[in-house]
A and B are shown apart, each in its own frame.
Chain A
Amino acid sequence: MDPIHQFQIKNLLTFGHIGGAEIAFTNSALYMLIALAVIVALTIGATTSRALVPGRLQSVAEMSYEFIADTLRSSAGSEGMKFFPLVFSLFMFILVVNMIGLIPYTFTVTSHIIITASLALLVFTIVIAYGFWKNGLHFFKLFAPSGIPIILMPLIILIEVMSFLSRPLSHSLRLFANMLAGHITLKVFAGFITMLGAFGFFGWLGALVPFALVVAVTALEFLVAFLQAYVFAILTCIYLNDAIHPGH
């Protein structure tokens, strides 16, 4: 009945120890591998037939490609398309991992902040590295909006830098918090059903209310699972756009 229990990391296979830390194959890693298998099956397996009129799975694969390509092109321009593999991988990984997590008795990989923070920091590092590589010191113009009086400049730059630093934090927190909160909500409402059931017939009758809520929240969670993957992808596009065209 513990709503936090579902997020526990369990070691499935211990490889050894490095500096006192255990190196193990965990349930989290297992679900990441499952997600990878699903994505590979969808993108490679479904498109091997190369039908001109796509079948169901092939059209899902094509739709996901076009969806991300359109998102990327509209927010980072056609120049941003060189980052398509990154954005597509991030979107598909988060989407599939979120969806798998909604199946009862499974583990949600994105409900651990270390995963979402790693993904967000990956994007953050790429934006900084590519921004400096492409624009050199011109990249700093991102922190200095034009048309600001000189006296205000230090303060504005400080605020802009902090706003920039808050990006990986909000990027990772949003996905992590939504998945964690959603799964805890589901578990708590589901727990109410059995608790009320202990009171006999009228208890079961009353349990219809939390049951209806669980059904509704499950539907909502499917929407959130998709939307969070979409938000993560679109924010990646927006941040990449800053690296490609800063301060113009």
Chain B
Amino acid sequence: MADKKQADDARDRKDRDQPSAEEAALSARLRDLGKQLGRHHSDGPSDSEPGQRPTTDASAMARGFRLSTELVAGVLVGAGIGWLLDRWLGTTPLGMLVFLLLGFVAGVLNVMRVAGVVRTNTLDPPDKRQ
């Protein structure tokens, strides 16, 4: 009986510890990423391994392909939202004008994120969250 209670307590404590375990996993992941990045930087330019080249080329080309549609998609979404708002609210030229411009901005933001000029907001410094 007492053992069972103790076990339950232990489980409760474990449940409470869940966030910190998650944090630990996160920091482990960050460390892992840092190690990987360090490895990449150390043998990046003089990379002569036969298996390594195609992947770096592929990811560069993949980024190129991503750039090609991000801007178009942003503008299309803006135009779509503007058109729908105009239809529902009867504000005919206004919605399209405003949202087409906003869509263009969103598209440019997408492109800059893919190109790595602007940091994605998911990569804010982790200490700010607490």
A residues apposed to B, CB below 8 Å: 74, 77-79, 142, 144-147, 158-160, 162-163, 165-167, 169-170, 173-174, 177-178, 223, 226-228, 230-231, 234-235, 241-242, 245-248
Contacts and interface: CB of A to CB of B under 8 A. Distances in A.
B121 A227 contact: no
Interface of B: 25-26, 29, 33, 36, 58-59, 61-62, 65-66, 68-70, 72-74, 76-78, 81, 99, 102-103, 105-107, 109-110, 121-122, 124, 126, 128-129
Contacts of B110: 163, 166, 170
Given A78-B29, A227-B62, A166 B107 contact: yes
A228 B65 CA distance: 8
A242 B121 CA distance: 10
A230 B25 contact: no
Chain B at the A interface: SS class: helix
A170 B72 contact: yes
Nearest to A77: B29
Contact of A174 (B25, B65, B99): B65
A78 B26 CA distance: 9
A222 B112 CA distance: 29
B54 to A, nearest CB: 10
A247 B65 contact: no
A231 B102 contact: no
A171 to B, nearest CB: 8
12 contacts: A74-B36, A78-B25, A144-B121, A162-B102, A162-B106, A166-B70, A166-B73, A170-B70, A170-B72, A174-B65, A223-B61, A245-B26
